[in-house]
Amino acid sequence: MRLPKFELIQPHSVKEACSIFEEHDGKAALLAGGTALMVGMRLRLSKPAVVIGMKGLKPLESLRPKEGGGLAVGSMVTLEMLEKFPLVLSGCAVLAETAGLVAVPSVRAQGTIGGNLCQDTRCIYYNQSEFWRSGIKPCFKLGGSLCNAVKKGKRCQAAYQSDLGPVLMALGAEVKIASTKGEKTVPVAEFFTGRGEKPNILKPGEIVVELLIPSLGPGSAAAYEKLRVREGMDFPMAGAAVMLKTKPGGVIENVKMVLGAVGSSPIEVPKVSELLQGEKLTDGVLAEVSRAAQEKAVPVENLAMNTQYRKKMVGELAVRALRRATTSVQR
C-alpha cells in the first residue's frame, strides 16, 4: 500500500515544531521513529497533510542523570538505546528490560520512548486496511456511533498496548510537555484519558519532550511481565508492571501495580498495595493478588487472544512480576 501524499517539514527547534504543529491544527502528524505512523498512514488510519520530522532535535535525544537522582530521557531516545545504554542498565534496569521486549531489533532501532508512550489504542476492527473497514459500520474511533467489539457498547474500548506506559506509571515517572505557551510536567498516571478514541491528554501543538524517571532507591525493585501471541515480536495481549519497596527480612513496605493491554489505558490496582503492605509473599497472599488484578482488568474481544484467557493470565503475570521484583531487590 502506498503512502498518501503529504508535505514533510523539518523544524530546527522544539519551539518551531510546536508552532508548526499548532498552526496545522489536527492536520499534522509528528514523525519520530515512524514505526507506527507509517503503518497507520498506509492503512489510511492517519491522513496528515503535513508530517513534522522530529529527528535532529538534540534536546529530545538526550539521556542524562536527573538532578536529585533518577533519569531524564528525551522523547526521541530510541528503544535500542534504552535497552543497551549503561546509564539505564545501572539506574533503571526494568526500563532497559522492557524496551528490549518491544517488537524486534529493527523496530527498536527506530522506535522511541516518546512514540511508545504516545502510541494509539488498537482494535482488530480498527487496525485494518481502508478496504477491509469499508465492509463494516464506522465505530466510535472512526467517528461512528457504535463499538464493533462490544454489542450495544456505549464507548470505544480499543486497547492501549504500550509496554513502557505501565512501567513508567508504576515507577512514578513524569512527562514533560512543550507547546508554544511553554512547558508543563504531569505525572504519567495523569497523561492518559482512559478513552479509546484518544488515549492521552495531548492537544494540537503539544509535544512530549522528556520523561523524568525517579530512582528506585535501596530496598526497591521493579519488574514487568507480558503475554503475547509470538514471543519474538508482538504487542502485549496483557501485561503487569510492579514497583515495590521492602524492609529487611523481605517484608513489603509499599507496592504499586499497573496492568497493561487490558483496557484503554494502563490500570493501577490499588488493592494490591493494601494486600501486601507489611506482608511477605506467601501462596495465599499471591492468590489474592491474582484475583485483585483479574477484577481490575477490563479486556473485550478486540485483540488476537480470547478475553477470558487474557483476564486469567493478567493475574498470573501480576504474580510473576511480584516474585521477580522481590528477588531482585538490592540493599
Residue 293, domain member (yes or no): yes
Which pLDDT value is given to residue 323?
A: 97
The residue segments making up the domain with residue 252 are 220-327
> Is this structure's pTM higher than 0.95?
yes
Return the closest-CA partner of residue 120 out of 89, 83, 158: 158
Average pLDDT over residues 309-320: 99
Which pLDDT value is given to residue 331?
A: 64
Q: Is residue 12 predicted with pLDDT exceeding 90?
A: yes
For residues 321, 306, 169, 66, the Cα torsion angle rounded to the nearest 10 degrees is 70
Confidence of residue 290 (pLDDT cuts 50, 70, 90): very high
Residue 127, domain member (yes or no): no
At 100-151, the pLDDT tens digits run 999 999 999 999 999 999 999 999 999 999 999 999 999 999 999 999 999 9
Return the closest-CA partner of residue 45 out of 135, 107, 123, 146: 123
At 214-259, the pLDDT tens digits run 999 999 999 999 999 998 889 999 999 999 999 988 899 999 999 9
Average pLDDT over residues 76-98: 98
Which pLDDT value is given to residue 249?
A: 87
Residue 271, domain member (yes or no): yes
Helix (H) or strand (E) holding 238, with range, is: strand 238-246
Which pLDDT value is given to residue 117?
A: 99
Cα 314 to Cα 322: distance, rounded to the nearest angstrom: 12
Average pLDDT over residues 258-271: 99
CA distances in angstroms from 253 to 196, 249, 302, 326, listed in the order given: 34, 11, 37, 12
At 19-33, the pLDDT tens digits run 999 999 889 999 999
Residue 286, domain member (yes or no): yes
Backbone Cα Rg of the chain: 20
Residue 84, domain member (yes or no): no
Confidence of residue 292 (pLDDT cuts 50, 70, 90): very high
Residue 55, domain member (yes or no): no
Which pLDDT value is given to residue 127?
A: 98
At 151-188, the pLDDT tens digits run 999 999 999 999 999 999 999 999 999 999 999 999 99
Average pLDDT over residues 78-84: 98
Which pLDDT value is given to residue 141?
A: 98
Alpha helices in the chain (DSSP H): 14-23, 37-42, 79-84, 86-91, 93-99, 105-110, 113-117, 130-133, 164-171, 270-276, 283-296, 307-327
Which pLDDT value is given to residue 24?
A: 96
- Residue 293 · residue 240 · CB < 8 Å: yes
For residue 29, give the amino acid letter.
Answer: A
Confidence of residue 287 (pLDDT cuts 50, 70, 90): very high
Return the closest-CA partner of residue 281 out of 218, 221, 216: 221
- Residue 221 · residue 28 · CB < 8 Å: no
**DSSP character string of 248-289:** TTS-EEEEEEEEESSSSS-EE-HHHHHHHTT----HHHHHHH
Residue 102, domain member (yes or no): no
Q: What is the DSSP letter of 55?
A: T
Return the closest-CA partner of residue 142 out of 163, 160, 121: 121
Q: Is residue 85 predicted with pLDDT exceeding 90?
A: yes
Residue 272, domain member (yes or no): yes
Among all chains, which residue has been given the C-alpha cell 472512526? 142
| Number of separate domains in the chain | 1
For residue 98, give the amino acid letter.
Answer: T
Cα 331 to Cα 326: distance, rounded to the nearest angstrom: 12
Q: What is the CATH number of the domain that holds 243?
A: 3.30.390.50
- Residue 205 · residue 179 · CB < 8 Å: yes
Which pLDDT value is given to residue 61?
A: 98
For the chain, what is the mean pLDDT? 97
